[in-house]
Amino acid sequence: MAHPKYTLHQVAKTIDHALLRPDMSRDEVKAGCEVAMKYDVASVCCKPADVAFCADILRGSDVHVGTVVGFPHGNSATATKVFETKQVVADGATEIDVVINIGWMKSGMYDEVREEIAAVVAAASGNQVKVILENAYLTKEEIVKACQLCEAAGADYVKTSTGFAPTGAILEDVQLMRASVSSKVEVKSAGGVKSLDMLLSFMDAGVKRSGASGTAAMLDEFVERFGA
């Protein structure tokens, strides 16, 4: 029986296949790109040093090259985040996931947070920018405010987590984020999205992208349960 809401293609194109483990070898990165192409996911999300390598492998496919900036703690100087963004775009990245300055957010330095995100958006030169809020460290009120700052700064997405904090994507947070931005801004879940049912529940809550490393298992399960 087909899924009542989603096709295999729609689910696959929700996934940013994560290649961010610090100990990943180039062979593992290459294998990850091959999985991404086999399942025709939205993108790979790789380490900045692997962008050119992944872009070469994925050239000619329908899989985008994504990477991270200020990762995983968001503590780099704004100028460093801007430089890093320009470098990864030059190397072939078309999607940038940048970590918000969490300490500034906790300090109520909202103008600085917004201005930094806007600087990264400008440096991305029209490529997609997803801002990682790292919800594990924020109150519900701070999540709402951070979402509003991201939209004001011109970001394309707000994202739950890096996957390297104490907690990752939580359905309640996803729902709150979706309610805190307009339709111009999308929501990405990441961190602990390990099952098909979890991924589908996030999609139901309005998520357009989800970071995942268990891509093959989830999409194979979708085919088993709902067909291709």
The residues carrying an active-site annotation are 97, 159, 188
| Cβ partners under 8 Å of residue 14, min gap 6 | 42, 199, 203, 207, 208, 209, 210
CA gyration radius, the chain: 17
Alpha carbon 169 to chain centroid, angstroms: 11
Alpha helices in 40-170 (DSSP H): 51-58, 78-91, 102-106, 110-123, 140-152
- Comparing CA positions, the residue from 179, 221, 183 lying closest to residue 200 is 221
Pairwise CA distance, residues 183 & 178, whole Å: 9
Would you say 6 and 204 are in contact if contact means Cβ atoms under 8 Å apart? no
Pairwise CA distance, residues 6 & 63, whole Å: 20
Backbone φ and ψ for 7, nearest 5 degrees, come out as -95, 165
